[in-house]
Amino acid sequence: MHLTDGQNKTISANGFARQETREVAPIALFRQGSNPLRPALEIGLQYASYKFPASAPLLLLGGDIGRLVDYDAYRTFLEAQTRRYERVLLVLGNHEFYAMDYNSGISAARQLAGEPSLAGRLTLLHETR
């Protein structure tokens, strides 16, 4: 997949000019990190207010995005993302399982991946190849 952002520029070095196109990553990675300016989604219910730009056709939600026990809020957040991205890949983190046992969490995640409102655009990455 070759994607560009449409920002072409001419670069001149030693009297030679060449055209350069800036590459855009084919996947957007959203994860919690050490950046203090990025709020943590898994603490409280910031789903409705947390905004970030769609910058690629694929979004990887790399765990600790929310709690499966807050199913409706989690689903609403994922519905918004599946409208913005061609495909959303979901990796479960430990916070997804807060307030429920492991088997119940896996069951809820599988149910979530099958929600009709997600239009088949969510892929749960759990024990699959």
Per-residue pLDDT 10s for the chain (129 aa) are 334 444 555 444 555 555 555 454 555 554 444 444 444 444 555 566 677 788 889 999 988 888 899 999 899 999 999 999 999 999 999 889 989 999 999 999 999 999 999 999 999 998 876
User: Which phi and psi angles does 27 have, rounded to 5°?
Assistant: -140, 140
For the question of whether the overall pTM of this predicted structure is more than 0.85, the answer is no
Range of the domain at 52: 25-124
Residue 14 lies in a domain: no
Other CB atoms within 10 A of residue 102 CB: 9
Residue 16 lies in a domain: no
CA distance linking residue 89 with residue 77, whole number of Å: 13
Domain count, the chain: 1
Residue 11 lies in a domain: no
